[in-house]
Amino acid sequence: MATVVRICVCGDEGTGKSSLIASLVKDVFVTNKIQSVLPQITIPPSIGTPDNVTTTIIDTSARPQDRNTLRKEIRKSNVILLVYSDHYSYERVALFWMPYFRSLGVNVPVVLCANKCDLTGDSSTPQVFEEEMLPVMNEFREIDSCIRASAREHNNVNETFFLCQKAVTHPIAPLFDYKEGNLKPACVSALKRVFYLCDKDQDGYLSDAEMHEFQAKCFDKPLTSEDLDNIKISIAKAVPGSYTERGIDMDGFLQLNKMYAEKGRHETIWIILRKYHYTDSLSLEASFFSPRFEVPEYSSAELSPAGYRFFVDLFLLFDRDNDGGLNDYELAALFAPAPGLPPSWEESGFPSSTVRNEAGHVTLQGWLAQWSMTTFLEPKTTLEYLAYLGFEPSNPRDPLTSALKITKPRKRRSRPGRVERNVVLCYVIGAPGAGKSSLLDSFLNRPFDNLYRPTIKPRRVVNSVELHGGKQCYLILEELGELEPAILENQVKLDACDLICYTYDSSDPDSFSHIVNLRKRVPQLDELPAIYTALKADKDKTTQRSELQPDQYTSGLMMSTPLHVSVTWNSIGELFVALAEAATNPSTGFPKNEEPPPDRTGLYLALGATTCAGVAAFMIWRRSTNSI
The pLDDT tens digits for 178-196 are 777 899 999 999 999 999 9
What are the residues whose beta carbons fall under 8 Å from the beta carbon of 463, sequence distance 6 or more? 354, 355, 365, 366, 369, 443, 444, 474, 475, 576
pLDDT number for residue 46? 61
CA distance 116 to 513: 94
pLDDT number for residue 516? 95
The answer to whether residues 555 and 561 touch, using CB atoms and an 8 Å cutoff, is yes
Residue whose C-alpha is closest to residue 38's, from 61, 55, 15: 61
Q: Are strands 205-206 and 423-430 parallel, antiparallel or unpaired?
A: unpaired
Q: What is the mean pLDDT of residues 98-127?
A: 79
CA distances for 567 relative to 332, 432, 436, 437, 445, angstroms: 34, 17, 10, 10, 10
CA distance 249 to 204: 6
Going along 85-127, which residue ranges are E strands?
110-114
Q: Collapsing DSSP states into helix, strand and coil, what is residue 143?
A: strand
State percent of the chain over pLDDT 90.
Answer: 62
What is the CATH code for 4-170?
3.40.50.300
Query: What average pLDDT does the chain have?
Result: 87
Range of lowest pLDDT (48-52, 345-349, 364-368, 543-547): 48-52
The answer to whether residues 147 and 163 touch, using CB atoms and an 8 Å cutoff, is yes
pLDDT number for residue 622? 53
pLDDT at 611 over 90: no
In this structure, which long-range contacts are made by residues 229-235, counting pairs with CB atoms below 8 Å and at least 24 apart in sequence?
A: 231/256, 234/259
pLDDT at 266 over 60: yes
What are the residues whose beta carbons fall under 8 Å from the beta carbon of 263, sequence distance 6 or more? none
pLDDT at 595 over 50: no
The answer to whether residues 146 and 163 touch, using CB atoms and an 8 Å cutoff, is no
Q: What is the mean pLDDT of residues 506-513?
A: 94
CA distance 190 to 169: 18
Region at 116 (left for phi over 0; alpha for psi -120 to 50; beta for the rest): left
Establish whether domains 182-283 and 288-407 are of one fold.
Answer: yes
Q: Which residue has the higher pLDDT, 501 or 176?
A: 501
pLDDT number for residue 598? 47
The helix (run of H) or strand (run of E) holding residue 146 is strand 143-148
pLDDT number for residue 123? 46
Confidence of residue 419 (pLDDT cuts 50, 70, 90): confident
CA distance 448 to 438: 7
CA distances for 416 relative to 332, 528, 573, 596, angstroms: 46, 14, 25, 8
The answer to whether residues 208 and 225 touch, using CB atoms and an 8 Å cutoff, is no
What are the residues whose beta carbons fall under 8 Å from the beta carbon of 276, sequence distance 6 or more? 190, 193, 194, 197
pLDDT number for residue 529? 93
Q: What is the mean pLDDT of residues 336-341?
A: 92
Residue whose C-alpha is closest to residue 441's, from 370, 355, 357: 355
Cβ atoms within 10 Å of 496's Cβ, excluding its own: 14
Q: Are strands 41-43 and 110-114 parallel, antiparallel or unpaired?
A: unpaired
Confidence of residue 2 (pLDDT cuts 50, 70, 90): low
Give me the residues paired with residue 5 across strands. Answer: 55
Would you identify the CATH topology of the domain 182-283?
A: Recoverin; domain 1 (1.10.238)
Confidence of residue 474 (pLDDT cuts 50, 70, 90): very high
Confidence of residue 619 (pLDDT cuts 50, 70, 90): low
The dihedral of CA 352, 356, 359, 364: what is its sign?
A: negative
What are the residues whose beta carbons fall under 8 Å from the beta carbon of 46, sequence distance 6 or more? none
Q: What is the mean pLDDT of residues 297-304?
A: 94
Report the side by side order of strands in the sheet with 563-564: 459-466, 472-479, 423-430, 499-505, 530-535, 563-564
pLDDT at 411 over 80: no
The residues spanned by each domain of the chain are 4-170, 182-283, 288-407, 423-588, 601-627
Would you identify the CATH topology of the domain 423-588?
A: Rossmann fold (3.40.50)
CA distances for 421 relative to 178, 300, 374, 424, 475, angstroms: 56, 8, 15, 7, 11
Region at 20 (left for phi over 0; alpha for psi -120 to 50; beta for the rest): alpha
pLDDT digits (tens, 9 = 90+) for 29-79: 776 666 788 999 998 886 444 457 889 999 999 999 999 999 999 999 999
Going along 12-106, which residue ranges are E strands?
41-43, 53-59, 79-84
Q: What is the mean pLDDT of residues 356-383?
A: 96
Q: Collapsing DSSP states into helix, strand and coil, what is residue 83?
A: strand
What is the CATH code for 288-407?
1.10.238.10
CA distance 89 to 92: 5
Going along 445-548, which residue ranges are E strands?
459-466, 472-479, 499-505, 530-535
Report the side by side order of strands in the sheet with 41-43: 41-43, 53-59, 3-11, 79-84, 110-114, 143-148
Q: pTM for the full model?
A: 0.80
Region at 458 (left for phi over 0; alpha for psi -120 to 50; beta for the rest): beta
pLDDT digits (tens, 9 = 90+) for 437-471: 999 999 999 888 877 788 788 999 999 999 988 88
Q: What is the mean pLDDT of residues 104-115?
A: 91
pLDDT at 573 over 50: yes
Amino acid at site 419: V
pLDDT digits (tens, 9 = 90+) for 273-286: 999 999 988 999 98
Q: What is the mean pLDDT of residues 136-147?
A: 84
Question: Which residue stretches of 208-327 are H helix?
Answer: 208-219, 225-238, 250-262, 266-275, 286-289, 305-318
Q: What is the mean pLDDT of residues 231-260?
A: 92
The answer to whether residues 601 and 444 touch, using CB atoms and an 8 Å cutoff, is no
CA distances for 38 relative to 16, 17, 35, 164, angstroms: 12, 9, 6, 18
CA distance 138 to 146: 12
In this structure, which long-range contacts are made by residues 314-318, counting pairs with CB atoms below 8 Å and at least 24 apart in sequence?
A: 314/389, 315/364, 315/367, 315/368, 316/364, 317/201, 317/202, 318/202
The answer to whether residues 167 and 144 touch, using CB atoms and an 8 Å cutoff, is yes
Q: Are strands 176-177 and 182-183 parallel, antiparallel or unpaired?
A: antiparallel
Residue whose C-alpha is closest to residue 355's, from 389, 379, 326, 385: 326
Confidence of residue 128 (pLDDT cuts 50, 70, 90): low
